[in-house]
């Protein structure tokens, strides 16, 4: 079983004992490793990227979190297999929106 490393400064994405996969060895950019990059997916299921920052700064909100929640309720979420962290992305999306609005 591999574990996920969410630390931005660490190049390791997945590890198990001495085995590790780094950011250079995986196909898809990982939000936790490149949180400042607007092109990096934040929600891998529904294609939401860091570009939601611009919407949140401009309008004080983003519809992305509501849309993700709606689609998840409809059974369309596949975060367990598409999100590198292996769990729901909604917390990451909401945190990014709060941060963009200046709420840390």
Residue range 48-91, pLDDT digits in tens: 999 999 999 998 889 999 999 999 999 999 998 999 999 999 99
Query: Residue 67, SS3?
Result: helix
Token pair in block for residue 44: 């891998």
- Model pLDDT for residues 6-42, shown as the tens digit of each residue: 999 999 999 999 999 999 999 999 999 999 999 999 9
Which helix or strand (DSSP H or E) is residue 55 part of? helix 52-59
Count of domains observed in the chain: 1
Provide the β-strand partners of residue 41. 49
Q: Does residue 22 belong to any structural domain of this protein?
A: no
pTM: 0.84
Q: Does residue 84 belong to any structural domain of this protein?
A: yes
Looking at residue 71, what is its pLDDT? 95
Domain CATH code at residue 95: 1.10.10.1100
Token pair in block for residue 64: 């992305």
Which helix or strand (DSSP H or E) is residue 28 part of? none
Q: Does residue 9 belong to any structural domain of this protein?
A: no
């Amino acid at each position: 079983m591999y574990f996920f490393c969410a630390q931005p400064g660490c190049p390791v994405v997945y590890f198990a004992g001495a085995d590790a996969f780094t950011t250079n060895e995986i196909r898809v950019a990982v939000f936790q490793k490149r949180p400042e990059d607007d092109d990096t997916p934040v929600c891998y299921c529904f294609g939401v990227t860091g570009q939601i920052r611009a919407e949140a700064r401009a309008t004080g909100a983003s519809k992305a979190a509501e849309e993700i929640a709606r689609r998840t309720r409809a059974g369309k979420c596949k975060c367990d297999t598409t999100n590198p962290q292996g769990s729901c992305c909604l917390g990451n999306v909401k945190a990014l929106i709060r941060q963009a609005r200046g709420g840390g």
